[in-house]
Structure 1
Amino acid sequence: MNGRAIAGGRRRAAGLVALVTATMLPVAACSLAGSAPQAHSSAQAPAGSDENARPQEGAAGGQTAADETPSRLPSAAQLSAARADVAKLSTRRLAAQLVVPRQSGSASAAATALQQQGYGGYAVFRDNLPAGSAAVPAAKAANQGFTRAVEASGRTWPAFISIDQEGGPVTRLDAPLTMFPAAMALGAADDQGLARTVGAASGAELRGLGYTVVLAPDVDVTIGAQDPTIGVRSPSSDPQRVARVGAGLTAGYLDAGIVPTLKHFPGHGSVTADTHVGTVVQPASLAALRQRDLVPFAQLKGAPAIMTAHIVVPALDRDRPATVSHKVLTGLLREELRFGGLIVTDALEMAAVSGRFGAGKAAVEAVRAGADVLLMPADPAAAVDALVAAVDDGTLTRARLEESATRMVATLRAGVHAAPEPSAPGSHQQVAKQLAAASITQISGQCGGKLVGSGISISGGSEVDRAALTRAAQAAGLRTGSGTTVALRGGSTYRAAENAGEAGGGRLTADIVVALDAPYALANDRARVAKLATFGRTPATFAGLVDVLLGRQAAAGTLPVAVGDHAIGSGCGREQ
């Protein structure tokens, strides 16, 4: 692709976000489909990794497609109505409204607690639901119960029923919902319209089950293999790619009637330790953060909600994690970046905060810092008690609690609406296929031609990976068991405490090497024919991979992160 074609593509992306900002049309009123690149008409070499690669776009210059953010912030009238409503709550009920615990126990017991204790909602996890496809009706029934519980308590606004559903390794509800890969796949596609399509598709299926908040998108800017927590959850190491993906997903979720939550402010992708297990320090200067980590948040400041990170940023506050730092949440996010939406804490049960402050004090300090929603305290009742005591002793004012509750209620009323059709679980398989076609990236070998013979011999990955590729190959008429050797590189750089992931293994040697998650190890692998990165392992991803192997579809993605000598923007997709 020549420079003129690249510039034209970027102008189209900028035009889309301006249109989204100006109109915020519902899904049915405008086309959300991203244009999948066409296959190469003839075989050619992939774009190189030096002078031929698209340069990384920094914060200070180049296209910023997310400069104007799709926004559905509450109106003045909605804020006024919410303020009047929360003023009627007792101080204890007001404090409880800000608390969103991890769901525990049965759905009926959780609904009773929601009504009796007055919590704002729940964070729902996979272990709250039965195994297999039974999870879908169980989730819908539970969420209906939570909604009725809030109504029965006299509240006239939606419950904050939230779920982590980023795609890839952070997927709380899997099949029969449509499965999407992690955000790095969207970074490889680098198509803001497609990101919006994916957000609308995933959001519609979640909203159809009764969820009102999705704890996504992740707009952390990863530093690559040294990032142990975020990994493929990040769209890219390029702040502008991250902002474009984040803008598209945010618009799509809002189209679907579910409130998105950008995370993790002020950026978790460039630290080298895990806040699930202890204190993590971000050593970068404020100037460096402005050029990298803060870029997506600054460009997406019109989003309805942002989640905090529990990292210590000495450039702003030498001692306190961002979640409990007034300098970070109020000074930087509210005052400097002028973010007017909802500030949601990351899980307060995580060791970086709970281990230092305890459940009660962590809740009080987060609100003092500027947070609105207290997600998953280690002890929800203790959090409420501490907030009430803080009002009683003057540490916090009741007006401060009302401020956050007003913002929370108004945001839910503004962002939550009935799911657009289709919203049935699994009804967006075509969108998943579209993403696979746009994101699979080839960084060595001939572009656009057939890469395999009449059969393939599969190795590496997990047993589940090998079985999935076998099924996809056989469905496409490609024999398995012998032939061109295809080695799968499994694993993920997402190694948070709750999900240790797989080991990446040593160097792989085969005709074709395929990285299913983070692509970094491809730099040391040996591939006689081609190296490919899929950034996911969904059924649609494996089907798309087979299409590339057979030459039916060119690998349309470009690297969203550097892999050895291959720079961001490298790959066969750059020539399309």
Structure 2
Amino acid sequence: MGWGPQQRDADAAAASVAKMTLEQKAGQVILPFYTGLDHEAQAAQVERLHLAGSMIMADNVPGTATGLVDVRALAGVTGRLDKAARAGGRTWPGLIGVDQEGGAVSRVGAPLTRWPAPMSYGAAGSVPLAAEAGRGLAAELAPLGFTVDFAPTADVTIGPADPTIGARSMSADPRAAASLSAGFTKGMLAGGVLPAVKHFPGHGSVTTDSHKALPVQNATLPQLKARDWKPFQSAVKAGAPMIMTGHIAVRALEPGVPASLSKATYSALRGLGFKGVAVTDGLNMGAVTGRYPHGSAAPAALAAGADLLLMPADAAAAHAAVVRAVAGGKLPLQRLEEAARRVVTMMVWRGRTAKPRPPAAPGSGEALSAQISARAITVVAGRCKGASVPGSVRVAGGTPVDRARFAAAAKDAGIALGRGPLVTLIGYGGGPVKSDLAVALDAPWPLAQSAAPTKIALFGRSPGAYKALLAVLAGKAGAPGKLPAAVGPYPVGTGCR
């Protein structure tokens, strides 16, 4: 069928959807979220409204007394929500979703593997490594009951003017972003979790954060096809089962309307050959909530061509709005049924093909994560051979956890702390610094204006990333990474030769 499922999956889904009431059909196209740890209340809502499943956000993840994720309890939560999604005789698994990209967007923390920022794959320049990472990440989520991960981010970043995506993008080069994100997508599928490639028609080249307001994309269609759409074309060829639409108003498609609610945008996406599930970005985001109150975004998105409505601000209001729109003739029943069939087809296929495999233990990907960081670390300015620091350094910036990880890696590398040159860590959202050595832990843009003779892009803050950093500083390892995006005067490809 061009996107994973076979005709028998579509036939089974069509038969199931045909037997559903209007309320059940409306539920199958909504993937809600909830706050806090009242999992039973969420399960009850999933059952009552016949919802597709549930998202798990960071505040839904149960923890231990030591601050780690309680993996056994988390598996119990996803199992309960899956059972709720199967209520009423549904035989396919529920959509138990999470945002686990690696880097800054990681809802489930340790003891699961700490992965570096996705831009690491662009700096390392290795599609096989990206695919291996996608598989490793998914392989740890699947045993915990997750069926869907809203990753990878396929957006092509334009650099520091991009306030939302940054190091979540794999590259500023459309071809590299396309091949790397497709590799990651295939890896995730092999690891047993459904990926959702995001955010069509491209969120890396707009200058407003859609969590807060509606970005406007002024590029022409030829410009979009040459840049922003290349990774999504690649995702379609890779068999991506889901593509997410972003809350971006594209003047060349439908001015003033978020792409997630724009018929022209869904037509453009289908024009790339995509036959899978088109899912909206979170409908609780600022670009949508102010314009579409009381659940009205839900039927509007369906009417435009969405198949799955992600995280409406009020799931009950969204469900009621969909039922009301169909009953009142404002939303064609056939459109709702088409959307429900696509979602159910995907999950019938997932249920049929999910092969029992030895569960990947939480944290089993740490060695791979460290390998990625060692391949990605990039010297933007400074020495490429030999030690960059003497036997002792000072460290500033970052968080207490960052400095503790730096200290642990320094000890292993034989470098003392307390005197010597100053190493300043620049975390997510940090600005330029003045230091002897500046190290960007997330997007590398702050290095452009930092006053430091040595500038290093690390693209991560995991223990493995710090191990890679200290090995380079001590002269025990080279820095093979190359900038996947320009950083001020430093062009793409800057790095040690």
Moved more, 391-400 or 298-307: 391-400
Between the aligned partners of 2:217 and 2:281, the Cα distance in structure 1 is 16
Match of 2:331 among 392, 396, 402: 396
Q: Deviations over 1:246-276 (max 9, x none)?
A: 1111011101111000111101111111111
| Native 8 Å contact 1:256 1:420 kept in 2 | no
| Native 8 Å contact 1:212 1:258 kept in 2 | yes
Q: Deviations over 1:444-475 (max 9, x none)?
A: 22323222222222122233222210111112
Between the aligned partners of 2:356 and 2:57, the Cα distance in structure 1 is 21
- Are 2:129 and 1:129 aligned? no
Q: Secondary structure at the match of 1:482?
A: strand
| Native 8 Å contact 1:461 1:490 kept in 2 | yes
| Native 8 Å contact 1:100 1:120 kept in 2 | yes
| Native 8 Å contact 1:437 1:555 kept in 2 | yes
Query: Would you say how many aligned residue pairs link Structure 1 and Structure 2?
Result: 488
Q: Deviations over 1:113-146 (max 9, x none)?
A: 2222211011111111234224322211001111
In the alignment, what sits opposite 2:18?
Answer: 87
Unmatched segments (≥5 aa) in structure 2: none
- Are 2:275 and 1:349 aligned? no
Between the aligned partners of 2:116 and 2:323, the Cα distance in structure 1 is 42
Between the aligned partners of 1:420 and 1:438, the Cα distance in structure 2 is 29
Runs of 4+ in structure 1 off by over 6 angstroms are: none
In the alignment, what sits opposite 1:110?
Answer: 42
Between the aligned partners of 2:365 and 2:428, the Cα distance in structure 1 is 26
- Are 2:444 and 1:519 aligned? yes
In the alignment, what sits opposite 2:433?
Answer: 507
Match of 2:361 among 394, 417, 424: 424
Between the aligned partners of 2:265 and 2:243, the Cα distance in structure 1 is 13
Aligned CA distance change for structure 1 residues 421 and 428 (closer, same or farther; 3 Å): farther
- Are 2:201 and 1:266 aligned? yes
- Are 2:414 and 1:455 aligned? no
| Native 8 Å contact 1:254 1:415 kept in 2 | no
In the alignment, what sits opposite 1:464?
Answer: 401
Shift in Å at residue 360 of structure 1? Answer: 2.7
In the alignment, what sits opposite 1:277?
Answer: 212
Unmatched segments (≥5 aa) in structure 1: 1-70, 493-502
- Are 2:142 and 1:207 aligned? yes
Between the aligned partners of 2:260 and 2:294, the Cα distance in structure 1 is 13
Between the aligned partners of 2:202 and 2:475, the Cα distance in structure 1 is 39
Shift in Å at residue 514 of structure 1? Answer: 1.2
| Native 8 Å contact 2:3 2:276 kept in 1 | no
Q: Secondary structure at the match of 1:371?
A: coil
Between the aligned partners of 1:176 and 1:194, the Cα distance in structure 2 is 22
Moved more, 279-288 or 104-113: 104-113
| Native 8 Å contact 1:363 1:383 kept in 2 | yes
| Identical-residue share of aligned pairs (%) | 44
Aligned CA distance change for structure 1 residues 204 and 440 (closer, same or farther; 3 Å): same
- Equivalent runs, 1:37-436 vs 2, <5 Å: 73-104=4-35, 106-131=38-63, 132-301=67-236, 302-329=239-266, 331-334=267-270, 336-415=271-350, 417-418=354-355, 420-436=357-373
Shift in Å at residue 72 of structure 1? Answer: 5.2
Between the aligned partners of 2:355 and 2:144, the Cα distance in structure 1 is 11
What one-letter code is carried by the residue in structure 2 that aligns with 1:411? M
Q: Secondary structure at the match of 1:408?
A: helix
In the alignment, what sits opposite 1:46?
Answer: none
Between the aligned partners of 1:398 and 1:157, the Cα distance in structure 2 is 23
Aligned CA distance change for structure 1 residues 516 and 408 (closer, same or farther; 3 Å): same
Shift in Å at residue 524 of structure 1? Answer: 2.3
Aligned CA distance change for structure 1 residues 557 and 309 (closer, same or farther; 3 Å): same
Moved more, 402-411 or 164-173: 402-411
- Structure-2-length-normalised TM-score: 0.95
| Native 8 Å contact 1:265 1:309 kept in 2 | yes
What one-letter code is carried by the residue in structure 1 that aligns with 2:445? Y
Q: Deviations over 1:193-240 (max 9, x none)?
A: 000111111101111110000010001111100111111111111111
Q: Secondary structure at the match of 1:488?
A: strand
Q: Secondary structure at the match of 1:483?
A: strand
Q: Secondary structure at the match of 1:261?
A: strand
Moved more, 411-420 or 378-387: 411-420
Q: Secondary structure at the match of 1:358?
A: coil
- Equivalent runs, 1:472-551 vs 2, <5 Å: 472-492=409-429, 503-504=430-431, 506-510=432-436, 512-528=437-453, 530-551=454-475
In the alignment, what sits opposite 1:63?
Answer: none
| Native 8 Å contact 2:422 2:435 kept in 1 | no
| Native 8 Å contact 1:254 1:260 kept in 2 | yes
Superposition CA RMSD, Å = 1.6
Between the aligned partners of 1:478 and 1:153, the Cα distance in structure 2 is 61
What one-letter code is carried by the residue in structure 2 that aligns with 1:116? R
Shift in Å at residue 307 of structure 1? Answer: 0.6
Aligned CA distance change for structure 1 residues 491 and 152 (closer, same or farther; 3 Å): closer
| Native 8 Å contact 1:180 1:538 kept in 2 | yes
Between the aligned partners of 1:127 and 1:468, the Cα distance in structure 2 is 24
In the alignment, what sits opposite 1:10?
Answer: none
Shift in Å at residue 476 of structure 1? Answer: 2.7
Moved more, 446-455 or 76-85: 446-455
Between the aligned partners of 2:471 and 2:350, the Cα distance in structure 1 is 39
Between the aligned partners of 2:410 and 2:356, the Cα distance in structure 1 is 35
Q: Deviations over 1:167-192 (max 9, x none)?
A: 11111011110000121111111211
Between the aligned partners of 2:476 and 2:233, the Cα distance in structure 1 is 40
Moved more, 86-95 or 468-477: 468-477
What one-letter code is carried by the residue in structure 2 that aligns with 1:543? K
In the alignment, what sits opposite 1:23?
Answer: none
In the alignment, what sits opposite 1:61?
Answer: none
| Native 8 Å contact 1:201 1:428 kept in 2 | yes
Between the aligned partners of 1:426 and 1:547, the Cα distance in structure 2 is 22
| Native 8 Å contact 1:308 1:344 kept in 2 | yes
